[in-house]
Each structure stands twice: as structure tokens, then as C-alpha cells.
Structure 1
Amino acid sequence: MTVSALILAAGRGERMRPLSDRTPKPLLSVQGRRLIEWHLLALARAGVRRVVVNTAWLEEQFEPALGNGARYGLEILYSREGRDHGGALETAGGMKKALPLLGDSFWVVSGDVFVPTFSFDAEAVRRFEASGQLAKLWLTTNPPHHPGGDFGIRDGLAVCDAETRFTWTSLGLFRRAFVEELMTDLPPGTKAPLRPYLDAAIERRVLGAERWLEAWTDVGTPERLAALDAQGEHTA
């Protein structure tokens, strides 16, 4: 299986200022390790070998910090949105630009979420590839800063009209066909959010969804980062 991964690391991180003024959010340390390294090590343990990191804000810091991935047992490639387009392209734009570096199925995860026990399980990839879905999202209990949630779940699919809604963890599996079939209106290098394309997948009943019941934090502010550090180092 040749599944790859895209780590979204291009954003400015306004709410994380002043910490993000000099360091990109994914390179900030949490519980003794850079945020992005939690993902890199988990992906390597799961057998993923190619990881694409999209960059824009302070993107010159990523390659010196992470190198070519060899120290993690990975091949890291960089999709440089700052150099090529002058700034971050948002999630859909970043995915479209990075697509030539990715495989037929690929994990997507935000570089600024802390999910220390997520395993990027190979069996989850196999089930996804057999499902006919174009993408699958992991959804969690709504945090205080996002009480309304994003999507509901019905019969294993994401829906918009459910009474109970959950928050997308910024973790998901995607097929190349998700981009090729649903983003035909999006020229490469164009800035665009992902939500309209997720909604289009919901309309076609090809967006899977599953609850994530373990620890998850959107490390969006210095206060959330400090709270995680106060919990002590995780052993994963």
C-alpha cells in the first residue's frame, strides 16, 4: 500500500501570536516535541513513507528543522506556497497544489492539532479504499471555542442536517479523485477553503465520517499550548 500524507502547515497562526511571529505554529513545541513531529512519528509508525508538508508563513524554517525526513523514517517533500504564490492557499488550494506529490489515497492532517494517540491505521486505509467514498473525516466532541460543530454522522456518512453535530478534527483520508472530480473549478495556485468541496461530497453521499473519542486539541492559542504543556509529556 502506497498511501501518502499531506500535513497542512502553511497558515499564519494569528491567534497564536506572539509565539507565531517568529516560529510557524507546527514548529512550536508541545510536551517536549514539535507539534508537527507528533504527526511525522505517528505516520512513520503506521508505515506511511511519503509526507508532503505545505508551507507559506516563515516557510524557510521547515526544511532546516525537519530535513528530508530521513531521521523520522520518511521522505518529506515541501509544497512551497509562499515561494510560488506569495502566501498560503488555504486547505483546498493547498491540496490542489500538492496533488502531484501525493498518491491515489492520502491522509490529510493539520500541523497545529495535537492528537497524540491517532495511529493513521493501515486497516482504516484499506476500509476506506474499499468503501467507494471520496473522503472520510474524523469528528470529535465540540470544544468550547467551536460549540456549533461542523457535521453530523448518519449511516457512516457526514451530513449537514443532523441535530447533533461534531467538530472536524482536521484529520481525514482523501482520494485523488476528490480533487480531480470536485475541484475542477479551482485552478492550481488559487486560494480557496475546503468546506464547499466537503459540502459537494456530502451532496453526492461520498463523504464518510467517524467519531474520534480520544484526546484532541486545536492548538490555536498560547493558552491552549500552555495547558497541554502543563499536563506533562505524553508517552506516545
Structure 2
Amino acid sequence: MKAIIFAAGKGERMRPLTDHTPKPLLTINGKPLIDFHLEKLAQAGFNQVIINLAYKGEMIKSHCGNGSRYGVAIEYSDEGPEPLETGGALNLCLPWFQNQCFAMISADIFCHFDYANLAQRITDLANSDAQANLALVANPAHNPKGDFSLQKATLCLAQQHTYTYSGLGVAKPTFIDQFPLKRQRFPLREAIYFWLESGKVYGYLCDDFWSDVGTPARLEALQSH
């Protein structure tokens, strides 16, 4: 099974911590954020991971290597000095997916989710007419209005009962390849909005611990977790 870890961002909200260290290598109790994801992916049976790189990407590549110490095979998608955003990152990686469903993970989150759930969602997605299935969480304090709502298991943009996209999900390559507005640089949410209009994006609510590690204060709070 395949997964992509989004790790190309500049981490501007995390400065000064990211002045010299890319956000995926910031640590919680001494362990880099990206290590948590790679270990959980390996435990769940994922064996191929691609990591997109831009800001201080060589540091990430040097740290993660070929993935053997995690139990996965890692490849890299180097986007150059400017990140292509999440949608652009997927578009660049389309040949690597080889028409297989894949998991997508934001490196800058920390959670207790069981990634075996992602593996099962990949199987379910492959046998459905949906394009993606996203993990949602209760709205955190920094995103009180949320991102999406759920009607049974389908994402929508209703004004009430909204949830926040966790940064974890699974998708088919056609989620990007058949998105008519794809281009070199664009955010993932554009493709999500396009496909949910036709009911092709599923979602599910996770109640395990989750945090968007978006500020130094949030990172500090996790040190005692």
C-alpha cells in the first residue's frame, strides 16, 4: 500500500523554530513529527511512502533516508524552492501512484489514530464510486467554524454541525487526475470542493486525540502529552 506525506511547507507560523529546522523534523519528547507517521504507516502495513519536499527538504531526506529503519520504502518528490501546495504535490506524484488508491497525511499533525483504519479505507474506497474519504475531527479552538459537514458518510458544506479536516485521508489518483482545474500549484481543498458537489467525497469522524501542530505554543503543549 502507498501513502504520501506532505512535508514541503515553510512552517512560517512556527517561526523561529522553523528558521533552521523544517516543521516535520520538530520534535515531541525528542521524536520528530514525521517519525510518528512513518512508524504508524509501517505498523498498519503500508510499505511504500513518498514524501514531498521543498523548504529545507535535504534535511528531511537526510533524516528519513530510504525508509529501511522504519520498515517502509521511501521515495521523494522534490518540488524545488517553492512548495506546490497539497494539490500540486499530488498532481506531480500521479505517476508514482500507478493508479492505486493511496493514503495522504499532513506531516504537521500529531494524533493517536490507528493507521490500520486508513488501510481499510483504501480497500473500501477502491470498491466504491467515491474519489476520496477524509478523516474529520471535532473543531479545535483555532478553527471553531470547521471545514465540512457530514450527511451520513458524505461530505457537504452545510452551515451547521461542521467538523475540521484532520489532514488524514485516502484518495484515488483520479481525485486529482480528473479534476478539471488541476495545475502545477493549487491547494487540495479545491479538488475536495469540486468532488463533494457530486457526492464523491466521503468522510468519517474520529474521536481519538488529534492536534494540528501549527504554532510553537501547540507544539510546547504536546511535550507533556
**TM range, normalised to the smaller chain?**
over 0.9
Q: Secondary structure in 2 aligned to 1:72?
A: coil
Q: Normalising to structure 1: TM-score of the pair? A: 0.91
CA distance in structure 2 between the partners assigned to 1:26 and 1:131 by the alignment = 33
Compute the displacement of 1:162 (Å): 4.6
Residue type at the aligned position of 1:201: W
1:195 pairs with 189, 195, 219, which one? 189
Correspondences of 1:142-153 after superposition (within 5 Å): 142-153=139-150
Give the SS at the match of 1:20. Answer: helix
| Superposition deviation, residue 73 in structure 1 | 0.8
What residue is the counterpart of 2:164 in the other structure? 167
SS of 1:92's partner is helix
Instruction: Return closer, same or farther for 1:198/1:117 CA change in 2, 3 Å cut-off.
Output: closer
Alpha-carbon shift at residue 207 of structure 1 (Å): 0.1
Mapping of residues 27-176 of structure 1, within 5 Å: 27-82=25-80, 86-103=81-98, 104-121=100-117, 122-176=119-173
Output the CA distance in 2 between the equivalents of 1:120 and 1:94.
24
Q: Alpha-carbon deviation of 1:116?
A: 2.9
Aligned to 1:220: 214
Decide whether the 8 Å contact of 2:122 with 2:171 is kept in 1.
no
What corresponds to 1:185 in structure 2? 181
1:134-181 CA deviation, whole Å, 9 max, x = no partner?
001110011111111000000210000251100000101000111111
**Aligned mates of 1:72, 1:94 — CA distance in 2:** 23
Aligned amino acid, residue 124 of structure 1: R
Which amino acid in the other structure matches residue 25 of structure 1?
K
The CA distance in 2 between the partners of 1:186 and 1:123, in whole Å, is 28
CA contact (8 A) 1:138 1:171 kept: yes
In structure 2, what is the equivalent of residue 24 of structure 1? 22
Q: What is the one-letter code of the residue matched to 2:75?
A: L
- Structure 2 residue ranges without an equivalent (≥5): none
Q: How many residues align?
A: 223
Greater shift after overlay, 115-124 or 38-47?
Answer: 115-124
